[in-house]
């Protein structure tokens, strides 16, 4: 297939794959048919596969950029994958690793690197991050523990997960203790709003002066509340969860380049959650890998305020003749509108 055909596919106004990777190929085929074009799903699948294969070196360059970050954000989400010959699906995973240093006024470009795996075994992130050394914001997934034990990756827990558990209890039970916990956490987020965009040393100084006393008070208060309530209640479970995570969150007070939560990674999951409602399942592991490459390219472009469709249409026309050792020239933040 010629590069011209690749470009025509990616440039098509009817193909929303570049815009959101949310429109399944069979529906795209139906749209083309209404316009008088006979493009079957198998043809579109082949085009997507070949296009993402051509663009894979660019996704690899984004991977290198992300893993050069002093701190990254990590999350994963389930996706259904068709089991070959079985007529049913199994649960696979898409993982996201995000570098976003904008909150602390750095100049490194934000980027999201996605990976696909047919399961959620801890070996998957261990492989993805084998070469990474630095801090990682994440939830309490046990599969990350080998990375932490290696000493190469240092854990940063997520206050948003803690807050969410108290919100759920408050909604279900109207608990005044849960409400009070939410208000205490809100004060910490208020300080984060004030320091956003400041350099790390200023962020650390403000956190030490204003946030650390509030953080210490929150931890002590939670410990005081636990003996007063039923140990089997949802509120007690929320408090125990918070207390187990506090020591892993406290590090943000000491390092201005860290965040209070893992929301950067959680935001990277939203396009997948939206797409899941439309395409229902991935057709194969090969399709999962292609999806991960597409998400890497599209979401990284969006993070840098670059139009993914214009960027990739141009890159597809140039990449085959571009020297591999100069692939960084084609990254979205280095791309100039033709």
Strand 71-83 to 134-137 pairing: parallel
Q: d(Cα 178, Cα 189) in Å, to the nearest integer?
A: 17
pLDDT tens-digit map of 224-259: 999 999 989 999 999 999 999 999 999 999 999 999
CA angle 253, 255, 260 (to 5 degrees): 55
Q: d(Cα 267, Cα 289) in Å, to the nearest integer?
A: 20
CA-wise closest residue to 141 among 101, 95, 182, 99: 95
pLDDT at 37 over 70: no
pLDDT at 18 over 60: no
pLDDT of residue 33: 62
Per-residue pLDDT band for 17 (boundaries 50, 70, 90) equals: very low
User: Any idea what DSSP says for residue 282?
Assistant: B
Query: Model-level pTM?
Result: 0.87
SS3 labels along 26-86: HHHHHHHHHCCCCCCHHHHHHHHHHHHHHHHHHHHHHHHHHCCCCEEEEEEEEEEEEECCC
pLDDT tens-digit map of 173-191: 999 999 999 999 999 999 9
pLDDT at 3 over 80: no
């Amino acid at each position: 297939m010629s590069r011209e055909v690749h470009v025509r596919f990616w440039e098509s106004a009817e193909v929303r794959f570049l815009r959101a990777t949310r429109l399944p190929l069979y529906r795209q085929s139906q749209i083309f048919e209404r316009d008088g074009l006979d493009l079957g799903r198998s043809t579109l699948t082949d085009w997507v596969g070949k296009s993402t294969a051509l663009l894979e070196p660019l996704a690899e360059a984004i991977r290198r950029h992300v893993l050069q970050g002093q701190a990254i954000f990590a999350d994963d989400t389930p996706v259904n994958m068709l089991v070959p010959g079985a007529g049913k699906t199994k649960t696979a995973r898409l993982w996201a690793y995000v570098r976003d240093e904008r909150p602390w006024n750095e100049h490194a470009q934000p980027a999201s690197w996605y990976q696909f795996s047919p399961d959620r075994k801890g070996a998957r992130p261990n492989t993805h991050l084998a070469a990474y050394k630095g801090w990682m914001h994440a939830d309490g997934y046990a599969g990350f523990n080998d990375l932490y034990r290696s000493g190469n990756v240092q854990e940063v827990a997520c206050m948003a997960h803690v807050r969410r558990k108290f919100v759920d209890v408050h909604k279900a039970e109207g608990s005044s203790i849960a409400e009070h916990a939410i208000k205490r956490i809100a004060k910490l987020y208020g300080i984060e709003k004030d320091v956003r965009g400041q350099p790390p040393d200023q962020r650390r100084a403000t956190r030490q002066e204003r946030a650390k006393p509030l953080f210490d008070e929150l931890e002590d208060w939670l410990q005081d509340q636990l003996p007063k309530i039923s140990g089997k209640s949802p509120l007690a479970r929320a408090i125990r969860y918070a207390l187990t995570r506090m020591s892993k969150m406290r590090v943000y007070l000491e390092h201005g380049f860290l965040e209070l939560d893992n929301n950067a990674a959680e935001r990277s999951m939203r396009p997948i959650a939206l797409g899941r409602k439309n395409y229902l399942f991935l057709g194969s592991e090969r399709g999962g890998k292609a999806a991960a490459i597409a998400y890497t390219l599209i979401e990284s472009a969006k993070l840098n305020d670059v139009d993914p469709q214009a960027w990739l249409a141009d890159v597809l026309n140039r990449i085959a003749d571009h020297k591999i050792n100069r692939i960084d020239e084609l990254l979205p933040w280095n791309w100039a509108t033709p």
